Structures are given as C-alpha cells and as structure tokens.
Chain A
Amino acid sequence: DAKTTQPNSMESNEEEPVHLPCNHSTISGTDYIHWYRQLPSQGPEYVIHGLTSNVNNRMASLAIAEDRKSSTLILHRATLRDAAVYYCIRIPASALIFGKGTTLSVSS
C-alpha cells in the first residue's frame, strides 16, 4: 500500500510550469516525502525529497503543505525529456513502495 494518492495523468506544454500534486493524509511526523520519476525503458530516478520545508534542487522544487498532508512537485519549465511517470513516496522505512504514479505528457 503506497499510502499516497496521485492523479493518474497530467498534460503540459513545453516550457510551461508543471505542478504535480500528491496526497499523503496519513503521513507521520518522521516520514520523508520522496519523488522519483521513471522515463520510458529506464529505471526509477530520484528527483527530490523533503520533510517539512520547501526544497529546491537543479531538477525541481518541492512544496510541502504546512500540515504535511499533501505536497506538490514543481517542474519550472517542462521539456520533452520530462515526460515520465512521477512517483510520490512516503519514506517511513528502507524499502520504496511505489504506487501507480502520475504519467506526465509534454507537448511541443
């Protein structure tokens, strides 16, 4: 049980921002939120993680709600290469439990 909820799919245009939501209403105080993505025919790839504060890295930004029951992965300018399945995962333990994720399509 992934214990996170994401939309099945989203669409974006190239060079536009994308906001990918994730619901984790049963999250506990010590669970990190990690985001991974899986490009076609590749293994999952780490994107970003956070606990309470918003986070930025070279790939994306992560906005975490104040009550921590939801988070949003932000791709500031989508490119065709960002078309992938995006997974939001709670980390209470070592193993990653993947859900179905959000399939992001990017159009030129």
Chain B
Amino acid sequence: EPEVTQTPSHQVTQMGQEVILRCVPISNHLYFYWYRQILGQKVEFLVSFYNNEISEKSEIFDDQFSVERPDGSNFTLKIRSTKLEDSAMYFCASKLDSGSNQPQHFGDGTRLSIL
C-alpha cells in the first residue's frame, strides 16, 4: 500500500538555525499538509497546500515557516530561524482530492529537537 514518507526521522538543530523537513506524499495525491505535535500535546494543523499554493494556514504558521513543492515528488517544510519551542514531532499528510470523504494519509513524522 502506498505511504507517505518523511525524512529525517530525527533532526537535531541549534537554536537560530534553519531546518528543512522533507516529505514524499502519495504519488497521485493533490493535497498536502503539515501538522505538529509538541510532546504530550494535541496534534496541531500548520498548513495545507494545493496547486503550488498555500490553501489554508493556522496561527502557528507564521513568517518563520514556509512550504514548497520543489519537484513532482517532494513537499518540504522550512523553519527559517528555529526557536526552542519549535521542538516537536512534525507530520506530513496527503489526500487524494478535496472531498470531505477523503482520508488523509500521514507519515511517521520527523522529531525535531532544538538545542
């Protein structure tokens, strides 16, 4: 069964450094998402992406964050200048189309640790 893959599984970065988290969504999916989960807390929506544009974003997704689909397969999340509070699990998800009856398929996440 096709799956969403994320790399790296664990990223350790110094505060203030830039970090790029990578995701390969399911190949025929059109909608892409990033979520994060701080340890012990809820999964939080960050951003959704469709047709090479951000379609929706949360308050968490400020100017420090950006997303890109640089080629036909990868979907990336960049944090420009990391802060301690960015430490979390980051999950990528993809969905076939816009229908509300379509499930989102998640990767296993990247654990981001900011020192």
| B105 interface contact, C-beta 8 A | yes
Question: A91 contacts which chain B residues (CB < 8 A)?
Answer: 100-101
Residues 92-108 of chain A: 1 if any B CB is under 8 Å from the residue's CB, otherwise 0? 11111111100000000
- Residue of B42, B44, B106 near A45 (CB, 8 A) is B106
Residues 86-115 of chain B: 1 if any A CB is under 8 Å from the residue's CB, otherwise 0? 000001010100101101111111000000
Question: A32 contacts which chain B residues (CB < 8 A)?
Answer: 100-101
Residues 1-44 of chain A: 1 if any B CB is under 8 Å from the residue's CB, otherwise 0? 00000000000000000000000000000111010001001111
| B55 interface contact, C-beta 8 A | yes
Question: B56 contacts which chain A residues (CB < 8 A)?
Answer: 93-95
A24-74 CB contacts (< 8 Å) to partner B: 30-32, 34, 38, 41-46, 49, 51
Measured in the bound complex, the distance between the Cα atoms of B100 and A32 in whole Å is: 7
Number of interface residues of A (CB under 8 A): 24
For the complex, would chain B's binding face be called helix, strand, loop or mixed by DSSP majority? strand
Measured in the bound complex, the distance between the Cα atoms of B22 and A99 in whole Å is: 26
| B31 interface contact, C-beta 8 A | yes
Could you tell me if A100 and B42 are in contact, using CB atoms closer than 8 angstroms? yes
Q: Please indicate which of the listed interface residues A30, A44, A100 has the most CB atoms of chain B within 10 Å of its own CB.
A: A44
**Tier of interface size on chain B:** 20 to 34
Could you tell me if A94 and B42 are in contact, using CB atoms closer than 8 angstroms? no
B62-95 CB contacts (< 8 Å) to partner A: 91, 93, 95
Measured in the bound complex, the distance between the Cα atoms of B110 and A42 in whole Å is: 10
Could you tell me if B35 and A96 are in contact, using CB atoms closer than 8 angstroms? yes
Measured in the bound complex, the distance between the Cα atoms of B103 and A70 in whole Å is: 20
User: A43-B107, A45-B106, A94-B56 are known contacts. Are A51 and B101 too (CB-CB below 8 A)?
Assistant: yes
**7 contacts across the A-B interface (CB closer than 8 A):** A32-B100, A42-B108, A46-B103, A91-B100, A94-B33, A94-B95, A95-B45
Binding site for A on B (CB under 8 A): 4, 31, 33, 35, 42-45, 48, 55-56, 58, 91, 93, 95, 98, 100-101, 103-109
